[in-house]
């Protein structure tokens, strides 16, 4: 009996993993994270670690962690969990060098409702295209709970869906034609392709179930 139970547990765990893999394949999504280590990721690999099937931003280190492959048009899905006051970011179509908020595009990942951020600009709220397109607020789950987010980048059209609610739906070329709302230059805003990454700012944020599907041009 002692031998049978561990075998049964392993079999059940394997079945769950296989179902998850098949589900991703059926939808056409490819996983960017194996749940065990940072294989395939580059940049600040020492500023993140893997724990309980999630990529965790080390609050003492952080930095910019990028997936090694570049993407152009895509549908990205992932889950994230914030600690109180957490601050991170999602880089898309970004080069590895330089500041992704300007040399690429940064979508805010932020505990927007924390008192520390009472005076932030609208374009700094969670989900916003930093400095360019403000996101709708009020759809983050309480800190400590997992949020689901989807980002669809199709040409100049950027759509962000948080916990089932569309919080950004914009044409970034149109939004920036008369200058950006933060008044800064964003030379990489209209990049056709680049890296996806997490941009740690010294707080703990966890990510899991990171998967992507290429869109036809």
Please state whether the predicted TM-score (pTM) of the whole model is above 0.85.
yes
Q: In whole numbers, what is the pLDDT of the chain averaged over residues?
A: 91
**What CA–CA distance (Å, rounded) separates 131 from 99?**
13
Please determine, for residue 22, whether its predicted confidence score (pLDDT) is greater than 60: no
Strand partners, 150: 77, 161
**What CA–CA distance (Å, rounded) separates 101 from 128?**
11
How sure is the predictor about 216, in pLDDT bands with cuts at 50, 70 and 90? confident
Cβ atoms 146, 137 nearer than 8 A: no
Q: Which residue has the higher pLDDT, 202 or 188?
A: 188
The owner of tokens 């030379």 is: 187
Please determine, for residue 24, whether its predicted confidence score (pLDDT) is greater than 60: no
Q: What is the pLDDT of residues 36-45, one digit of tens each?
A: 999 999 999 9
């Amino acid at each position: 009996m002692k031998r049978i139970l561990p075998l049964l547990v392993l079999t059940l765990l394997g079945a769950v993993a296989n179902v998850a893999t098949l589900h991703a394949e059926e939808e056409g999504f490819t996983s960017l994270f194996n749940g065990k280590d940072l294989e395939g990721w580059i940049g600040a690999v020492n500023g993140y670690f893997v724990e309980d099937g999630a990529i965790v931003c080390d609050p003492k280190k952080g930095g910019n962690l990028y997936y090694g492959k570049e993407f152009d048009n895509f549908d990205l899905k992932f889950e994230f969990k914030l600690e109180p006051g957490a601050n991170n970011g999602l880089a898309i179509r970004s080069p590895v060098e330089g500041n992704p908020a300007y040399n690429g595009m940064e979508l805010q990942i932020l505990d927007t409702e924390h008192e520390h951020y009472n005076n932030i600009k609208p374009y700094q709220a969670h989900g916003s295209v930093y400095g360019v397109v403000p996101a709708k607020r009020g759809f983050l789950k309480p800190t400590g709970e997992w949020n689901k987010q989807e980002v669809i980048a199709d040409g100049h059209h950027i759509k962000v869906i948080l916990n089932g609610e569309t919080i950004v739906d914009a044409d970034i070329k149109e939004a920036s034609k008369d200058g950006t709302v933060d008044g800064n230059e964003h030379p990489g805003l209209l990049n056709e392709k680049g890296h996806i990454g997490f941009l740690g700012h010294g707080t703990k944020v966890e990510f899991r179930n990171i998967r992507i599907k290429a869109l036809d041009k």
